[in-house]
Amino acid sequence: MEVVILPGAKPIAALAADAIEALLRNKPDAVLGLATGSSPLPVYEELERRHRRGLDFSRVRAFALDEYVGLPPGHPGSYREVIRREFTGRVNIRPENVHGPDGEAADVPAACRAFEEAIRAAGGVDLQLLGLGTDGHIGFNEPGSSLASRTRIKTLVEQTRRDNARFFSNLAEVPHHVITQGLGTILEARHVILLATGAQKAQAVRDLVEGPVAAICPASVLQLHPHVTVLLDEAAASSLRLADYYRHSYDSKPRWQGL
């Protein structure tokens, strides 16, 4: 796991966008794993800027991490809508190449299996963007999630519903249930880039990077993945014991290595 501590959201977005751009130049039909929430927004803005300067997404396939269950079609808070509004609708990804779990499915287990199959049929995710919940969740794998889990329905913890209420008109409107890629699903992505900013993420970052691998911090399972990049601002990195070592390693890294 590589930890990179940067001065703020802009340089974090630039570095994540560099990795995505390098991937697309090398593999124009790459499969991107997309997160929603606030953390990836500066990355999406940066990618939109690069698209206007010629970065091509016409052959890219994309898979969202998660979706709320039971929101009416077209609800502005649904992740299908958020992904379209914030990213895929702003670059030239073809709408039919953007997939997400089906939060309106009558048969949820069958929809989860179909989603997993679609990822497999696309050849797997090349680069997965992740945010981090204040309780250590990735996707919507809340504490206690099986470290081997696959796409399935989960119940949100109340802290997550409160954290996400800002995207709805009030807390009561935030669904209790979601469909999320499992931790086992996320671990199959070939490169994972996790973004976290702000002091409210500091404890979860410490548990993820330096804690034991344990279901109480689902993100800690990323310690088992061979290629994870954790991009942090100073506030999110403020509880890390080995922060100076991470800075030193990144500063002295040969630039040809990339992320």
Catalytic residues: 66, 135, 137, 142
Of residues 7-46, which lie at the interface with ligand F6R (CB under 6 A)?
Answer: 35-39
Pick the binder of ligand F6R from 133, 143, 175, 218 (CB under 6 A): 133
Q: Is 138 in the site for ligand F6R (CB under 6 A)?
A: yes
Q: Is 136 in the site for ligand F6R (CB under 6 A)?
A: no
Total of chain residues touching ligand F6R, rule CB under 6 A: 14
96: left (phi over 0), alpha (psi -120 to 50) or beta: alpha
Pick the binder of ligand F6R from 137, 154, 191, 206 (CB under 6 A): 137
Query: Which residues on adjacent β-strands are paired with residue 72?
Result: none
Contacts for 237 with CB less than 8 Å, ≥ 6 apart: 3, 5, 202, 205, 243, 246
| Nearer residue to ligand F6R within complex by CB, 158 or 244 | 158
Of residues 84-123, which lie at the interface with ligand F6R (CB under 6 A)?
Answer: none
Asked if 105 and 192 count as a contact pair (C-beta separation under 8 A), the reply is no
Phi then psi for 174, rounded to 5 degrees? -75, 120
Site pattern 157..186 for ligand F6R (x: CB under 6 A): ------------------------------
Tell me how far apart the alpha carbons of residues 187 and 183 are, in angstroms, rounded to a whole number. Answer: 6
Query: Which residues on adjacent β-strands are paired with residue 141?
Result: 138
Contact positions vs ligand F6R (CB under 6 A): 35-39, 65-66, 131-133, 137-140
